[in-house]
Amino acid sequence: MCGKKSNMIKVSGLTKEYQMGDTSVLALRGVDFTIKHNEFVAIMGPSGSGKSTLMNIIGCLDKPSDGSYQLNGQEVASLDDDALSAVRNKEIGFVFQSFHLLPRLSALQNVMLPLRFATPPSDDTRYADTLLTRVGLGTRQDHRPNQLSGGQRQRVAIARSLVNKPAILLADEPTGALDSKTSVEIMELFTELHLAGQTIILVTHEEEVAAYAQRVIRMRDGEIVEIEERGVYAA
């Protein structure tokens, strides 16, 4: 982690406008920032601040109305739908508040699910099994989601997000459905992943969660109001 880090994400003048009936709503208002390889960044703000809209654009789930979003030096707006799907599958791992596990699949099968949509598809269980062990669930491969606690389900979701070895891990309120003790355990896991070289961008409204990040981007009413450099971990 020493040496100069190159820009992975560069956002310039990013604007997102939604049409709601006869009313135009500006969800993002000229947002600018960069994120480098191997950074751990938290995006904070109250409801309606634009943080989830920004996360969707970074994750190539939505496109800006104006401005530039470059991922590894490439303008994302220039990519067609197939290229965007490839970016989402290969470059970005997603972790959500509500886990999004398939109830009829085992933990191992849930982790392996993205491999089926990879190019080429894979049914190699070894790496998926390694990831479950890495997140502390090495003895839970055959358990279904309803046999796991909330924290264990989130660990499965994190393992699934890593199975295609993405460059970026995006986490949207990953502790929102967890109790405080389990939240600390999940955030310590994110810290371990980051220290091993993973780039992490996390959306949260909780100061306790953002405290684990190196840098906090604070948003309000679609604008960045502060970028706080921390450089140290709470854990």
Termini Cα distance of the chain? 19
The residue-averaged pLDDT of 158-178 equals: 92
CA distances from 126 to 13, 50, 92, 117 (A): 43, 39, 21, 17
Closest CA to 151 of 128, 129, 174: 174
Mean pLDDT of the chain: 89
pLDDT at 6: 62
pLDDT at 9 over 80: yes
The residue-averaged pLDDT of 103-107 equals: 95
Residue 39, sorted as left (phi over 0), alpha (psi -120 to 50) or beta, turns out to be beta
* Confidence label for 232 from pLDDT (cuts 50, 70 and 90): low
Residue 16, Cβ density class (10 Å: 0-12 exposed, 13-18 middle, ≥19 buried): buried
Residue 33, Cβ density class (10 Å: 0-12 exposed, 13-18 middle, ≥19 buried): middle
Which phi and psi angles does 143 have, rounded to 5°? -80, 140
Q: Are 186 and 193 in contact (CB under 8 A)?
A: no
pLDDT at 111: 94
Among positive and negative, which fits the CA dihedral 71, 74, 75, 78?
A: negative
pLDDT at 235 over 60: no
Tokens standing for residue 60: 């190539």
Closest CA to 209 of 166, 54, 182: 182
